[in-house]
Amino acid sequence: MTAHSLDELLAAGVRGRHVLVRSDLNVPLEGESPQLKVSDDGRIRASLPVITKLAEAGARVIVTAHLGRPKGAPEEKFSLRPAVARLKELAAVTVKFAEDTVGPAAREAAAGLQDGEVLVLENVRFDPRETSKDDSEREAFAAELAALTADDGAYVDDAFGAVHRKHASVFDITRLLTAYQGDLVRTELQVLNRLTEAPQRPYVVVLGGSKVSDKLAVIENLLGKADYLLVGGGMVFTFLAAQGHKVGASLLEKDQLDTVRGYLARAKELGCTFILPTDIVVAEKFAADAAWEVVPADSIESASFGADGIGLDIGPESAEAFAHQIHSANTVFWNGPMGVFEFDAFANGTRTVAKALTGSDGFTVVGGGDSAAAVRTLGFDDDAFGHISTGGGASLEYLEGKELPGLAALDR
């Protein structure tokens, strides 16, 4: 069965109807409570088109979303209030906020919605039943969410960043309301299908981030699909150690060394080439103002810091080599920064990779999460890339070949 589209819902008519929309408003915040502000509104902007489309068609839109990982109870630092404030600034429709999720405030506000108005409920994860492992608890919470839509409700999942979770507002709700696939989810799937089914070659995958263990399954699945796998970030030190090199005090997952050696061996058999850095920026300590040196990747401890040195970025030679490989590709998928981009001294590798993607003639995809945050932090425009995913974890799990509960629920 194929998921119902948003266009099908609009064609059926939504004026006067309550439509529950699962959006992704899980945005980074800055400052101190209660003066928290959104530092990257990318996911809010990505969620806005579907919310607006429904409101302008006359729907009474109820938005449910999460922020952070609260422990099943209200926490001010995880309130959706700052995200809703930013949504109000961006939206051309009326946006209201309920101080609870399915409590008195939510019920009263939902009942009082007028055609074309939007109500955002407080963080759905403030209720422990949202993420419960107990099916009956999740189902009970989903029923309370569905009850907010009265007798003629519908459900739209537009939160790609949450479709890999078996949560009440993503999975169980589809058993109670007729469910539709939001435009954002549809676009994300179209992009990921281009990466997995018939990518234009050469196909280059750039992987970074802190840990190899976070990327094991995606590496496994891409070995037979990608032409080149470029590895940077903290995970590169496990690759270098697997080749027999010392890495000082750099991040190292010793329990993954054999796995990485296996990947390096299998890649040759499958016609996939791993490209590792040839130079590394090694720092005296993990700090923005730390002293640093550029040394060959195979002799990290030759830096003046010796075995205490910590690798915090790929070197300039490696960054340029990665950029050259990206420019020669017809398809590029990038997930994970090349270094500690939050510190300016160690942002060059990430900046160079991002710039290379903006100058590519191929189809370029930034795989959400830290990569999306990095390109915006470093001043790049979203429109300069083929696609910036809103779902880091969901994107990776899709590329791993896993079934994502939220997508499966839309297809049933």
Q: Any known ligand binding at 215? A: yes
Q: Which of 116, 194, 393, 402 is catalytic?
A: 393
Q: Which of 96, 175, 211, 266 is catalytic?
A: 211
Q: Any known ligand binding at 138? A: no
Q: Sign of dihedral through CA atoms 312, 316, 320, 323?
A: positive
CB neighbourhood size of 319 (10 A): 25
Q: Any known ligand binding at 261? A: no
Q: Any known ligand binding at 342? A: yes
Q: Any known ligand binding at 22? A: no
The answer for residues whose C-beta is within 8 angstroms of residue 124's C-beta and 6 or more apart is 64, 65, 66, 101, 130, 167, 168, 169
Q: Any known ligand binding at 392? A: no
CA distance 169 to 57: 23
- Residue 313 token pair: 């970025």
- Residue 153 token pair: 């409700």
Q: Any known ligand binding at 69? A: yes
Return the DSSP state at 313. E
Backbone angle region of 205, left / alpha / beta, with phi > 0 → left and psi within -120 to 50 → alpha: beta
Q: Any known ligand binding at 67? A: yes
Q: Any known ligand binding at 68? A: yes
Give 87-144 as a DSSP string. HHHH-SS-EEE-SSSSSHHHHHHHHTPPTT-EEEPS-GGGSGGGG-S-HHHHHHHHHH
Q: Which of 17, 22, 43, 60 is catalytic?
A: 43
Q: Any known ligand binding at 24? A: yes
Amino acid at 195: L
Nearest of 223, 192, 195, 190 to residue 330 by alpha carbon: 195
Q: Any known ligand binding at 184? A: no
Q: Any known ligand binding at 301? A: no
Instruction: Check if 306 is active-site.
Output: no
* Strand ranges in 225-320 using DSSP code E only, listed in sequence order: 228-231, 273-275, 279-283, 292-296, 310-314
Instruction: Check if 369 is active-site.
Output: yes
Q: Any known ligand binding at 81? A: no
The shares of helix, strand and coil residues in the chain, as percent rounded to the nearest 5, are 45, 15, 40
Q: Any known ligand binding at 26? A: yes
Q: Which of 369, 386, 391, 406 is catalytic?
A: 369
Q: Any known ligand binding at 266? A: no
The answer for residues whose C-beta is within 8 angstroms of residue 344's C-beta and 6 or more apart is 288
Amino acid at 301: E
**Are 48 and 25 contacting, i.e. CB atoms less than 8 angstroms apart?**
no
Instruction: Check if 43 is active-site.
Output: yes
Q: Sign of dihedral through CA atoms 26, 46, 196, 233?
A: negative
- What residues form the annotated binding site for ATP? 215, 311, 342, 368-371
- What residues form the annotated binding site? 24-26, 43, 66-69, 125, 165, 215, 311, 342, 368-371
The residues annotated with a catalytic role in the active site are 43, 211, 369, 393
- What residues form the annotated binding site for substrate? 24-26, 43, 66-69, 125, 165
